[in-house]
Structure 1
Amino acid sequence: MSDKHDELQFLLQEILNTFQSQFTAGISEFELITLLKQPPYSLFDEDALRDPLTLFQTHFVLFHSLYHLRNEWREQKVGELDIRATQIKLAPILSFDAGLQASDPLADYYLDWTNLSATDQAGVNDLLNSFWQKMAGVDGNHYFSQEAVNEAILTLQITSIECLSLAQLKQQYRKLQHAKHPDKGGSVEDSQQVLQAYTTLYKYMSNR
């Protein structure tokens, strides 16, 4: 996968990690995509979802991240994420202990990028790069207010972004997210602010 794809997939994974309360209540795929289209995330583009092929790509990329999240939450004993288009729901830990090792053809399908396209691996990479350009506004005409950028810089405690690389940005994000996480004495609001700042600066730096 390209570095740009890896970074954006990481961003999607981080955002989904903050949706534990929505998953506990239960949320449909449509509702989840709708949330991801809105601020502070603005990860999915409204117009791109009107195209059938892009809509399938959105579904696949989202489910790919959801199955990775399911595996992560299993390891952390957070719970079992039941993933369906009609409802994505987080069940209590005790409900899945006995079936952890069961074969899951759907998970295998969505975790394999080659199933996104009938083309070869190079074709899948090109398709993914094109998808993320549409969905996240990368390499496109995207407006960023200086006020929003300055606020994000302050939130992430960055001195200057002039010589800052995307890898360094991610490293600083992870450092602050670790410190601000509710499990580390932070709050949900602080954690979400850090995520929003990272999203803003990632898109801004990608479009410079």
Structure 2
Amino acid sequence: MASDLDPTLDLADQLFSLLREANDGCSEYQLIQQLRARRSTHIPHLSLTDRLVLFRTHFLLFNALYRLRDRLWEESSAHLEISALHIQLHPYQSGTAELSEQDPLREYYLDMRHLRETTEQDVEKLLASFWTRMQGGDEKRAALELFELDRLDEPVNLATIKLRYRQLVSLHHPDRGGSTSRLQSINRAMEILQRYYT
């Protein structure tokens, strides 16, 4: 069994410890599971089927990841790749202007007001806007957003979509305490994306 994480460490330092062990990187879901298994006190240990708990857990994780990425960059010690599907430490390479470019995701996750001020109703509105866009004809974009694949640097392909689908089903399946309505949204989005990417 994995040993508990040092409770005195900040979440960013705990993530750094976990990512150093994951040579090939890992997904957000795998990081959350490892933090829980090692008894991190920095994330909620409540059911991820609660949409607000899921949002807050996701936000805290990504806030810590962006803080860690900034610190590693300043120290010229490593580069942290952060995407919806894959999080991985890479050796530092000088001469990259990556952090000088405006990154709206980084700005969003480093602003703690988004954590404090986002309510369950806000999370519900995000899901509702997904269905509104679906019915309004922007189904491909809405499906990619639901899968959090709309802002990847690399092109999206069917293999990437299927991997993300399996991760989301694992997270939200009712047999594991998930939400039936959320699973229906995921299945509908997968049907749409298969039409565009097959």
TM-score (norm 2): 0.49
Structure number with the higher helix fraction is 1
Higher RCO (C-alpha under 8 Å, 6+ residues apart): 1
Give TM-score scaled by structure 1 length: 0.47
